[in-house]
A and B are shown apart, each in its own frame.
Chain A
Amino acid sequence: MSLQMISVILGSLTIASGLMVVLSKHPIRSVIYLVITFFFISAMYILMNAQFLAIVNMIVYAGAIMVLFLFVLMLLNLNKEMEPETTRMSLFTAVIAGGTLFLVMITALRDTFQYGKGYVQVPVQDAGLVEQLGKLLFSKYLVPFEISSILFIAAMVGAVLLAKREKQIID
C-alpha cells in the first residue's frame, strides 16, 4: 500500500468521524467520535513527520481535554428528555451557510493550488522533531511561551472561581 493511499484513507476517515461528531444525538457518542477524529489527525501528523505535535495532540487533546468533557458530561447527570431539539429551520439555514462557507473557501484556494506548484520545497527533513522545536521554542519564542503560562494560571483561577459552589444563604 502506497503512502498516498494511506493518507487518502486517513483523510476520508477523519472527515467521516468529524461528521459523526455533529450528527450523533447522544453527547457521549460525540465525545468518543471526537477522540477518534483526534487520533486520525495525530496519525496524519506522524505521516507528515511532525512527531512532537502528534504526541502532544494525543496527550493533551485526546487525553486531557476530552476526558474533561467526559467528566463534565457524567457529572451533569443528563437524561434523554433534556437533550435540546434542533428546529428544522435552523438546520436548513445552518447547512446552507456551512456549505456556502465550504464552497467559497474551496474556490478561493483553487488559485492557490496553481500558485503552490511554483514554490520550491525546502529540503529540511527534521522540522517537526523535538530538538528543532525545542531550540525554536526556547530562543525565539521564549516570551510567548512564558506568557502562555500566565494564561494557564488565569484560566485555572477563573475555572475554580466560576465552578465553585456558592454558600447556601439560609434566611
Chain B
Amino acid sequence: MEQLNNIGASLDFYIFVSIALFSIGAIGVLTRKNMIVLLMCIELMLNAVNLLLVTFSTFFGNGEAQIFVFFIIVVAAAEATIGLSILIMAYRNSKSIDIEMFNKLNG
C-alpha cells in the first residue's frame, strides 16, 4: 500500500484554523484605528490564505500551490514597504497615526 501525505490533523481542522485567522484579521482591520496595527492585520489575513494553500498543496501532493505562497510572500513584502512609507509620510504631515486622519483628504 502506498503511503499518503500526512498533514497531522484532518483537513477540516486546518480549514477551520485558516478561516478563524482570516476573520480575526478582518475584525482587526475593521476595529483598530492605529495604522500600523491595521497593516499587521492585513499580514495576518495573508498568512491565513498561505496556510490554506500549503494545506491543500500537501494534501493533494501538488507543489504548485507552494509557488503561489512564495509569490504571496513577495507581494506582501512589497506591500508592507509601501504601506509603511506612506505611514511615515502621513505621520510627518499630521503628527498622528490615526486612520481617521485620511478623512481630511479631498480630491
Contacts and interface: CB of A to CB of B under 8 A. Distances in A.
A7 B9 contact: yes
Contact of B88 (A34, A52, A163): A163
Contacts of A8: 9, 13
Interface in A9-50: 11, 14-15, 18-19, 21-22, 27, 30-31, 34, 37-38, 41, 44-45, 47-50
Given A123-B61, A162-B86, A101 B23 contact: yes
Nearest to B39: A69
Q: Is the interface of B mostly helix, strand, loop or mixed?
A: helix
A152 B40 contact: no
B40 A84 contact: no
Contacts of B8: 3-4, 6-7, 44, 47-48
A86 B40 contact: no
Interface in B6-46: 6-9, 11-17, 19-28, 30-34, 36-37, 39-41, 43-44
A171 interface: no
A36 to B, nearest CB: 12
B66 A53 contact: yes
Interface in A52-98: 52-53, 56-57, 60-61, 64-65, 68-69, 72-73, 75-76, 78, 82-86, 90-91, 93-95, 97-98
21 contacts: A6-B8, A14-B21, A22-B32, A27-B34, A37-B44, A45-B54, A53-B69, A68-B80, A72-B88, A76-B88, A76-B91, A82-B97, A94-B30, A98-B26, A101-B23, A123-B3, A124-B61, A128-B54, A136-B64, A141-B67, A158-B81
Interface of A: 3-4, 6-8, 11, 14-15, 18-19, 21-22, 27, 30-31, 34, 37-38, 41, 44-45, 47-50, 52-53, 56-57, 60-61, 64-65, 68-69, 72-73, 75-76, 78, 82-86, 90-91, 93-95, 97-99, 101-102, 105-106, 109, 112-113, 116, 119, 121-125, 127-128, 132-133, 136-137, 140-141, 144, 148, 151-152, 154-156, 158-159, 162-163, 165
